[in-house]
Structure 1
Amino acid sequence: MAPAESDDEATGIHCRLDELLAERGMTLTKLSELVGVSLVNLSVLKNDRARAIRFSTLRAICEVLDCEVGELLVLDD
């Protein structure tokens, strides 16, 4: 049986939110307003500290940024 992941361990998934926002000239604050998710929660996601994300939130972010899930979340190399 595999050991449980501690809160300190990386998930192996990288969120490209910073890059996508920069490409679109959008701030995290503006994204927060458009998506209806708190700035703190988006910051956690942006900094790869999120442990989970609701599908509805993921969809809303992708709709606002006009991207696919695979452009937002990628596997770490």
Structure 2
Amino acid sequence: MPIIVNLDVLLAKRNIKSKELAKIINITEANLSILKSGKAKAIRFSTLEAICEALSCQPSDILEYVKEKE
């Protein structure tokens, strides 16, 4: 998949556990885990905004586009 989710990297840099972030942004740990693993098919802008606010980051710190090789 050409969209890479770097949320686990950002959490490690900020020294925040997934459980803490899930509580701060008011989503379940299971949904956060799906997002972290890159298995999510979509993300709500409100969730992305909450993550960015909680981690003091930009969406581009979390999501990265990598062109697939042909």
Alignment TM-score > 0.5, same fold = yes
1:72 Cα shift? 0.6
- 5+ unaligned residues in a row in structure 2: which ranges? none
2:62 paired with 1:64: no
- Residue number in structure 1 paired with 2:12: 22
**Of the two, which has the highest radius of gyration?**
1
Alignment RMSD, CA only?
Answer: 0.9
1:50 paired residue among 31, 40, 50: 40
How many corresponding residue pairs?
67
Q: 2 CA distance for matches of 1:41 and 1:76? A: 23
- Structure 1 segments, 4+ long, off by >6 Å, are none
Deviation by residue 1:25-61 (Cα, 9 ceiling, x = unmatched): 0000000000001101110010000001110000000
- 5+ unaligned residues in a row in structure 1: which ranges? 1-9
Which has the higher relative contact order, 1 or 2, with Cα contacts under 8 A spaced 6 or more apart? 2
1:76 Cα shift? 2.4
